[in-house]
Amino acid sequence: MRNIKNFEALWWGLFSAGGVVAAFLVPIHIILSGLGAPLGWLEDSPQVYQLWPVRLYLFVLIALPLFHCAHRIYHTLPEIGLKVISKPLAVLCYGGSLVGTLVTVWVVASL
Partner 1 sequence: MINRPDKAKLYYPHMPATWWLRKRSYFMFMLREFTSVFIAIYLVVFLISLYRLGQSEAAYAAFVDGLRSPGWLAFHWVALLFAIYHSVTWFLSSAVVLSLRLGTWEAPRWLVAGAHIGGWLVVSVAILILYTVL
Q: Does 84 bind partner 1 (CB under 8 A)?
A: no
Side-chain half-sphere of 3: how many Cα atoms within 13 Å? Answer: 3
CB of 68 to partner 1, least distance (A): 7
Torsion of CA 109, 23, 99, 86, to 10 degrees: 180
CB of 4 to partner 1, least distance (A): 19
Distance CA 35, CA 51 (A): 23
Residues 6 or more apart whose CB falls under 8 angstroms from that of 41 comprise 35
CB of 104 to partner 1, least distance (A): 6
CB 33 within 8 A of CB 89: no
Subset of residues 29 to 68 that bind partner 1, contact rule: CB under 8 A: 29-35, 37-39, 42-46, 48-49, 51, 54, 58, 61-62, 65-66, 68
Binding-site ranges for partner 1 (CB under 8 A): 19-20, 22-35, 37-39, 42-46, 48-49, 51, 54, 58, 61-62, 65-66, 68-70, 72-73, 75-76, 79-81, 100, 103-104, 107-108, 110-111
